[in-house]
Structure 1
């Protein structure tokens, strides 16, 4: 399974009351579970910056990942971007080595 990162920015409707983030997340989780049963969710994070959420998930292919994004956008309350992601031994090792050196220097 491939790993994907989805960035989501909530869009408040011009009509009606403001969108409840908790209600939106619950409703969305149910919709994604029904539309995309082959997805494995890895993590969800609220982030600062131009996006509101960063989600990491695994999907069997790009079509399945696009179904996730389409399901989120289908609510009419969000803009999404999907990025493919992959781990490399060099990047992982280098980042870990830097963290260990930094941690040791701070001790």
Structure 2
């Protein structure tokens, strides 16, 4: 199973109050669970900087990751950037 990092930045109108983010996050999560059964969420982080959220996910099919990112964009009112991630030891072994 491949590992991916999804970086998300909220659009200015994503939610009116910071406390409303929980409802939005729950709705996006439920939609991804329903529509992207091949995606396994490993961990999520709130960050300060260029991106607001960093999600670590796994999937066998990159199409599932593309679908999840599009759900985050459309339902989560966010801009995303998705990266493939290779464990460091595997990366070094492949060199």
Distance 1:28 1:2, change over 3 A: same
User: Counterpart in 1 of 2:72?
Assistant: 72
**Mapped pair 1:36 → 2:49:** no
Aligned residues: 90
Q: Name stretches of at least 5 consecutive residues in structure 2 with no aligned partner.
A: none
Q: 1:90: Cα distance to partner?
A: 7.3
Runs of 4+ in 1 over 2 A off after TM superposition: none
Tell me what 1:87 maps to: 87
Larger radius of gyration between Structure 1 and Structure 2? 1
From the superposition, tell whether residues 31 and 90 of structure 1 become closer, same or farther in structure 2 (CA, over 3 Å). Answer: closer
CA RMSD of aligned residues (A): 2.1
For residue 60 of structure 2, what is the aligned residue in structure 1? 60
Give CA-to-partner distance per residue, 1:27-76, whole Å, 9 cap, x none: 11101001101111100000110110000000112111101101111216
Q: Structure 1 pair 77/63, CA: closer, same or farther in 2 (3 Å)? A: same
SS in 2 for 1:74: helix
Instruction: Compute the TM-score of the two structures, normalised by the length of structure 1.
Output: 0.76
